[in-house]
């Protein structure tokens, strides 16, 4: 008998039992045991089942369904905390989370205005000169930092090879002139 949990491929009964046990929170080894795999092979089977794309998709779908069933309980817990918690902080956090889940979020504070928020064509000549000077300094700093990170691309000479041999090797590697 097969159980259709996955849209890609139908799972067999043991695979479906593994998925059901795994989403209840047990380890892959325990899920494989409860699905009917032998004690000696359950640990390896559990790991291999988790690596299967069909099993992974079935686990994701079953977990999503399980989480959806728990949403009313979570919301009622938040409501209870909002109304009955002795801690003001807990009540505030619960109320904030309820509002967040409802899609009601506080407006974000505007960013502080920058030095030059206006478009370039609206800036005065002094502001444009200041902006160019600022960018020039920033470019010089960036160029200096990049220059300090640069490494020499010339190979360092090997002290074990005599100078004559190095030039001979280089000449042999260059193509002949036509």
For the chain, give every domain's residue range.
Answer: 2-101
Scanning 38-124, the segments in alpha helix (DSSP H) are 42-51, 53-84, 88-101
Taking only the tens place, the pLDDT of each residue in 92-133 is 999 988 888 888 877 787 766 666 577 888 888 998 898 899
pLDDT, position 84: 92
pLDDT, position 6: 42
Spatial contact of 5 and 62, defined as CB atoms under 8 Å apart: yes
How far is it, in rounded angstroms, from Cα 71 to Cα 121? 54
pLDDT > 70 fraction of the chain, expressed in percent and rounded:
77
Q: Is 95 exposed, middle or buried (0-12, 13-18, 19+ CB in 10 A)?
A: middle
Helix or strand holding residue 115 (H, E) = none
How far is it, in rounded angstroms, from Cα 130 to Cα 42? 71
120: tokens are 């370039």
50: tokens are 């988790």
Low-confidence ranges of the chain (pLDDT < 50): 4, 6, 178
């Amino acid at each position: 008998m097969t159980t259709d949990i996955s849209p890609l491929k139908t799972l067999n009964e043991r695979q479906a039992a593994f998925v059901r046990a795994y989403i209840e929170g047990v380890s892959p080894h325990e899920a494989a045991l409860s699905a009917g795999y032998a004690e000696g092979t359950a640990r390896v089977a559990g790991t291999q089942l988790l690596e299967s794309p069909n099993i992974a998709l079935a686990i994701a779908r079953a977990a999503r369904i399980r989480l959806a069933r728990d949403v009313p309980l979570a919301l009622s817990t938040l409501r209870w905390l909002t109304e009955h918690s002795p801690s003001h902080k807990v009540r505030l956090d619960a109320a904030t989370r309820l509002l967040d889940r409802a899609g009601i979020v506080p407006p974000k504070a505007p960013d502080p205005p920058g030095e030059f928020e206006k478009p370039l064509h609206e800036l005065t000549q002094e502001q444009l000169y200041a902006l160019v000077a600022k960018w020039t300094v920033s470019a010089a700093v960036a160029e200096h930092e990049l220059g300090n990170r640069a490494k020499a691309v010339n190979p360092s000479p090997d002290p074990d090879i005599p100078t004559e041999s190095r030039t001979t090797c280089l000449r042999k590697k260059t193509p002949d002139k036509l």
